[in-house]
Structure 1
Amino acid sequence: MTEARADARVDFPAEDGWSAWPAPAKLNLFLHITGCRPDGYHALQTVFRLLDWGDTVFLRPRADGRILRAGAGVPGVAAADDLLLRAANLLKKETNCAQGVEIGIEKRIPMGGGFGGGSSDAASVLVALDRLWGLHLGEDRLAALGLRLGADVPVFVRGRNAWATGVGEELVAIALPPAWYLLADPGVHASTAALFQSPDLTKDAAPATISGFLSGNVRGNAFEPVLRRREPAVEAVFAALARVGLPRLTGSGSGCFVEFADRGSAEAALAALSAGLLSPGTSAWLARGAERSPLLDAVERHPTGASPSG
């Protein structure tokens, strides 16, 4: 089934003190594993491409210091594991802030797809609360806090397309051409830890360069051949997307995408998939590549400080 992903409408009205903050999705335009670091983590190289589509985080400051989850939260995620709550609690603890917050989420990014939903949600909480609580920590300190929550959080904090190394936290801003993307989610939640244990995973790729990527000579995702062999649904998506372009995998999840230079070409490809190429249970939709995160624009528009309730 092919569909434009529907938004799950949530009512967090501004007149009741709520503010809305974008949490954009990302794509990994390539992903190589170049070795193992002394700390035991794998060394990565990738390019993060931010999208103009994603989740929306809702925040309402509280004067009583409590950090609460409003609404249903992220489906299937317990409060103790909720990155939105963990981000707020970490920021509060690190700054000894007396304020609290209620947190709601309008979830669009599929979980386990490699589109960065949880990391982006956490980053939006850090960046937005820094503004709402009047903390003024600055980008570098917020990114350092984000890294404690997940390797992908810093790129969302900084809000710019980036060449990434290390575990994905060493970032160099990179200019990318305009593009539209056909995204597909086969609904498979792959275990990153299990994928890293696969004997078929290439962990010693030759280091790439930014110039090599920009010239089109750097491609591929180390996890793609492993997932395609392990997950028939992922292989089926690749086969379908190959009919309309060059399919690629994002991150270590099951999400796939095809890049197009313009919206019209992307729409034509999505229409072709609507003819029944995708398997039941697979969703497909379009998103535009962003020059920078819409979260940064939201921060610039919002006044510093807040009038907490509760």
Structure 2
Amino acid sequence: MSGPAPVSAVTDPVGSGAREGFVAVDSGGSGLRVVLGAPGRPATAPRESRIPVRTGPRGIEPGHLMEQLVPMVRALLPEAELTGLGTAVVGAAGLATLGDALRAELPGALEREFGVRTVALAADAVTAYTGALGVRPGAVVAAGTGLIAVGTDLKSWRRADGWGHLLGDCGSGAWIGRAGLEAALRAHDGRPGGSTALLALAEESFGPVRELPGKLYPRTDRPAVLASFAPQVAACAEGDPVADGILRRAAQEMAGSAAAVCPAQGEPCVSLTGGLFRTGAALVVAVEEELKRLLPHARQVAAAGGPLEGSVQIATELAQGSFTLPSDESMVYVVTPKRG
């Protein structure tokens, strides 16, 4: 039995104003978000899957990504009124270190399924940067469950951290949550550095803390479980010196990562993006203070958008032939049609 016709085979309904467009994707630890659009027209409302793309022995699995992407794109096509998809941009968490299979297989799969000719595979840090700052020199700290800082002088990319919750992600949601739970366990034991306030919140969230190792260590989603305690640490910070100290150390780590990647010359922009910064003003204020101290020459600006908006911007520029961000196989891998 033959499958559905490729998207590029869809004909333009008379008078519909349909045209060739793009698909923009944000693939992260919480799932997959997809929009369709075309230059000069608003993108569709996002379609979302809350199933993260699997990672196997070869890294991020292109087949699992396509299993989720194909039905979402086909569901969006009537709303988008497109004759086909000439461009695809996929922003993927872990691309730099786990993206070999995506780079090898995804462009061909997108061409076969949708007729896509131009593909950009971007690290989620790059789409976060582009969504926040656009095409300007600077640095962006993207912080959620994990944390990575990325910067560019528009000639090359620099990244810092993003090494995962066991080796890095310093200042991230998982890092803050782990530090908060450690302080709770110190209070339980009667050791220095403990917080009875965090102990009470930990037991409210997880039950008796003596049972916490058995609940946490077998989990495959340990970073997310640790990060789930970060909002309690932030909420506790105003009246608890231990929680406040954790947030201040997190702010120092974030600012240090930003300083490692920020251009040293000119007046670069620095921005913060990601769900962690919605935990409260205490963390944001502390990070901004550290950024002023470490990067006095930089200008702090609010993020214009997030990673999905970054994917849309990259897709629009590729479709218009105006893409100018630096290419780097580990950060932004662009495949264009062969000439001749």
TM-score with structure 2 setting the length: 0.26
> Computing the radius of gyration over CA atoms, which structure comes out larger, 1 or 2?
2
Flag the structure with higher strand content. 1
Task: Pick the structure with more helix per residue.
Answer: 2
Structure 1 length as normaliser, TM-score? 0.28
Higher RCO (CA 8 Å, separation ≥ 6 residues): 1
